[in-house]
Amino acid sequence: MARNSYFQFKQFRVEQGQTAMKITTDACILGARAEVENSYSILDIGAGTGLLSLMAAQRSTASIDAIELDDEAAIQARENFAACPWNSRLTLHHCPVQSYIPEKRYDCILSNPPFFENAYKASCDKRSLARHTDSLSFLELARNIDRLISEDGKAWILLPVESSLLFLEEVQKATHLKLERTIAVRSSSTHKDHRHILVLNQSNSANIREQITIYSEHPAYAPATTELLKPYYLKL
């Protein structure tokens, strides 16, 4: 996906020139696959540009709260929210999730969190912050999802495969959350899985496995991926 200063979707535009982490196909797949249609309240942890919140707003009538720690990303997300057709349902909270104390719990939580835990940090400080877990460890993320999710709610978390295993260790040790589903994402049928979308809840440990293959042959999307992204991408 091109790293332009903005990305134009069918019903909204995401400005991303001021944020360290740009829009990725993997994040768009999470936003398109997450079951948001029947949600009343959605929380986006680590909102960045606000992409996941905007994708959820298009397919739901939910009230959506987005949390972002980085100053410039929070400004950009606010601008993206203000410019979209659903701005009355979107609220940006510029704070750490650890200090976020809402009066409600959420029936849907979305997160594309920092993921290179204990790894070499890139030279760009903002990109490094966005990609590492120093500001939000996997343990803290797991505990805060457990604290903020409703009794019947679901959390949808996008992580690299190796990081997803580390995150699940913290989930099992320190929370009431259970793994309902693992959606493995790979570039093509000849590639290994590179991302997992983990679906967590507090009641059902069905541990179902799904597979998403992005391309039939790059740059052509596989038919199922085309259907998934068609409500959003201009050229599909």
Average pLDDT along the chain:
90
| Distance between CA atoms of residues 186 and 140, nearest Å | 28
Q: How high is the pLDDT of residue 119?
A: 43
Structure tokens at 170: 């913290």
Whether the predicted pLDDT of 191 surpasses 80: yes
Q: Cα separation of 130 and 50, whole Å?
A: 14
Q: DSSP character for 9? A: B
Ramachandran class of 6: left when φ > 0, alpha when ψ lies in -120 to 50, beta otherwise: beta
- Which position has the token pair 């909204």? 12
The region of weakest confidence among 10-24, 38-52, 185-199 is 10-24
Judge contact between 194 and 182, C-beta under 8 A: no
**Residue 23 is encoded by which pair of tokens?**
């829009």
Q: What pTM value is reported for the model?
A: 0.91
Once rounded to an integer, what is the mean pLDDT over residues 20-49?
Answer: 95
Q: What are the structural domains, with CATH classification, of the chain?
A: 6-229 (3.40.50.150)
Structure tokens at 39: 């949600």
| Residue 114 confidence (pLDDT) | 64
Q: Which residue has the tokens 């505990």?
A: 143
* Residue % of the chain over a pLDDT of 90: 81
* pLDDT at residue 233 tops 50: yes
